[in-house]
Structure 1
């Protein structure tokens, strides 16, 4: 059955998707360790920045600011040490960095859970019973991970939930080739480009996906609740500002809803952005510059279980840190060379995206980085 023709439009804006209630911060520079660490350090060292995270009286803000800056200082020390370690052993340092970054992020959301309390990891795993990475599972416990999950997704994660490690690995785009080489299957992540299209009276979003998500029925069902697939227009490269070298078999989706223009003919992008935000359970922030955002499908094909890459990175780093501490033999390069290779990649490739995740979490808005000159024609 042929696909329907897309609505005609006579103008358009190329804007990455973002929550219209929060906005986003764009950087005229590529993401780098020095840039991100410096901007995280200002949260730890400048009281006006750190205290702005909290509400209440000055005494209450100062009390939280004391906890906040010390979580951050500890996290930064661990992270800077981890960068100097060249293999999967770095995951132990990275996890303790991320644990403290997460506590700092949660301090303004659930302070009563963090201050003056024993704080659990929120995940459990028994290395002594570990057999294969493909078969291992993490179990949700009370603590940081389910609180962070709720803060970032808006969904509660029940105690006792089992999360297969193999499925988590498929949610991390930067290790796609290494996970496939290790026999963990293909990545589920789909990059896409985002447009706000308009005619004389209405505006609506268009999504240009670099591949399909039909294998994830629960995710496809959510997408098709708010968008429909349409025939790809002949001039899609020009309209999405893509090079002629892009030869992907792309798929184009347009919003089922349209938003009216203002009586003056002016536009507001909040309404069409809100239409894209309707798929937030599978919508993920990009951490590279070649796309506007990511479709991060449900962890399961037939039931919805949101698992953005930021949380998958966190959980896999926890898992790797447990193995590094208690069962390093699973990384033996003679017995398990593929696994050693993959976890070396996890330590190397996930580090910068985890810093972007952290800065976005602490500042409450997505952080989007562009190489110098990238926004010029």
Structure 2
């Protein structure tokens, strides 16, 4: 893998390869941008197929965090840590303490937190070696499921703005939403939608989650590969990334795509494909920014009420993106990128 070319492609500032033979740590820390402030982004633990796959994932995710922070108006940049493999419980604390030592050498350029495969206990271990960490025991983000709830809340507000754009009304009663993915965020989103009297179609690879959603929300269940072709008003992807692609976009029977998943567009061109198909796309990193907004609020010692108020600003950002899309005749995904890139390129004091 040509590391310099990979960094240039994603416009990354820094790439740190971390190895500790005593703990067994093998990790990558990618910092995309610190122009607006320290890079924020969680630590992901995954069974990557290769070192190249781990590096590409870290760079891609770090870039996404920069755009997410910039579009949300936060004084932070984007970064990501990924750990290769899934250690057993006897290794885990040592591995995360080792990661904490590597993070500390960056002197505040990168602040980590929970992501896929990591927990509050892992962040507690990182905390033993550095203060550049969030989501530790007793923190705002680690209390209950507040981060997941606020992420879903921001997505719900983005859906409401999308309804105004397409239907001229925020009323959700009797509209149908197809929710793909019933993890914590997807389930919280279902609750918000159900309370707003929407009809739900749901799917997940976990049958128990599906049964629970059917029972709680009166949802209709479908198999995972059938969700794209469901006739609905809104398709809400809340699971894996890259699901809006050459194959799936042609199957969609909706007016709006708005969900919590990261990196929903397989390629940049797919935002234009949705636009050309007359489907309004709520850019993922704009409407799913509730989690990172809460993290930034935690770092500023805000309480839950203030954090929620800041998440509510997502509605105005979504509206701004749609206005730019309409005014300039460009896809909403392009309008969002331009908004984020304008923030990232502004002169620094």
TM-score when normalising by structure 1: 0.24
Return the structure number with greater relative CO, CA threshold 8 A, min gap 6: 1
| Structure of greater Rg | 1
